[in-house]
Amino acid sequence: MNLPRRMRRLRLHEPLRRMLQSVSLRRGDIIVPVFVVEGENVRREVASMPGVHQMSVDVAVPWLAERANEGFGAYLAFGVIDRAKKDTEGSAALDENNVVCRLLRSVTAQKIHMAGITDLCFCEYTSHGHCGPLTADRSTVDNDRTVEQLVKQAINHARAGAAVVAPSGMMDGVVGALRKGLDSAGFTDLSILSYSVKYASAFYGPFRDAADSAPEFGDRRSYQMDPARGIDEAITEAKQDVEQGADMVMVKPAGAYLDVIRAVRGSIEVPLVAYQVSGEYAMIEAAARNGWIDRDRAILESLIAIKRAGADMIISYYAPVLARLLPN
């Protein structure tokens, strides 16, 4: 058959195939999440996230030092506190000696060469598990009161040495308030990575085990986005955050939202971070453990797809595996 173009020609030679790759994945693209718990010498595997552990500060710090040596440049800290310390307002989030602040200080003291990003949210600190204090009728999170509290949480993390704060509660106006609050507290160089486009997703299930942050009643649909809503909402959220001062924006989850990553990428001019969330991790792990997929290949393919869609950086639980799979 005479075909002017045979697409397979360029696929025939392995070295050529390699040269034609235009999407790359480096360790430096990956942000490493870490769940910090109270106590000492604690290293507890999360049941729904095999291979991921909750760690006390003394265990998390050397673990992060290993990641730094492997070439990973940033970590994302989540505080997991004892139930007894939770209240309706999430006040433990503002304690300067909570696990997140202790981790930040310890990483700095040990001169670990990694930027500290902190998740700004109250779901890990409130007794009801919602992302901030509730309205008087307890029907939803009180947006404006939560924003005030988030600014205080950010300043608390900034004082402990955070390089970046990442508001994840989908509260309106949070980025502008954070910029203003951080600037007036003297933290003009602290960056904001906004979880701008965050869907109310079933894929966060395992995380809520890891962070002990499942809502006690209801769900998060009155503040997180509806997966069935059109792309306009995602673009407006991202643009609005950039206008308010976000240095980077995030789309979350990643794998089921590649179209959203692509669209947001095309409409903003700051770095875009995508979050390969706990459920995405758990699905790959479960299938691999059953022998149904090739784990290493599925991990790389899932992350390459997120890069191809337009993400500059990816938050992924796979850092330790990627240290084996990717060149530094």
Q: Which residues bind ligand PBG (CB under 6 A)?
A: 119, 121, 123, 168, 204, 207-208, 220, 277-278
- Pairing label, strands 272-275, 313-315: parallel
CA distance 274 to 195: 9
Name the residue among 72, 58, 80, 166 with its Cα closest to residue 124: 80
DSSP H or E segment with residue 112 = none
Nearer to ligand PBG, 82 or 243 (CB): 82
Query: In the complex, what is the shortest distance from the CB of residue 22 to ligand PBG, in angstroms, rounded to a whole number?
Result: 28
Q: Is 198 marked active-site?
A: yes
Amino acid at 82: D
Please, what is the angle between helix 143-160 and helix 174-184, to 10°?
40
Nearer to ligand PBG, 278 or 302 (CB): 278
Name the residue among 257, 259, 255, 249 with its Cα closest to residue 303: 255
Q: Is the dihedral of CA 54, 56, 59, 64 positive or negative?
A: positive
Of 85, 152, 198, 307, the active-site residue reads 198
Query: In the complex, what is the shortest distance from the CB of residue 84 to ligand PBG, in angstroms, rounded to a whole number?
Result: 20
Nearer to ligand PBG, 24 or 217 (CB): 217
Nearer to ligand PBG, 52 or 235 (CB): 52
Q: Is 152 marked active-site?
A: no
Amino acid at 207: F
Nearer to ligand PBG, 208 or 262 (CB): 208
Query: In the complex, what is the shortest distance from the CB of residue 227 to ligand PBG, in angstroms, rounded to a whole number?
Result: 13
- CA-to-CA dists, residue 326 to 65, 180, 304, angstroms: 18, 40, 12
Query: In the complex, what is the shortest distance from the CB of residue 119 to ligand PBG, in angstroms, rounded to a whole number?
Result: 5
The backbone region for 218, taken as left when phi is positive above 0, alpha when psi lies in -120 to 50, beta otherwise, is left
Of 111, 152, 239, 252, the active-site residue reads 252
Query: In the complex, what is the shortest distance from the CB of residue 166 to ligand PBG, in angstroms, rounded to a whole number?
Result: 8
DSSP per residue, 35-94: EEESSSS-EEEETTEEEEEEEEHHHHHHHHHHHHHHT--EEEEEEE--GGG-BTT-GGGG
What positions carry a catalytic annotation?
A: 198, 252
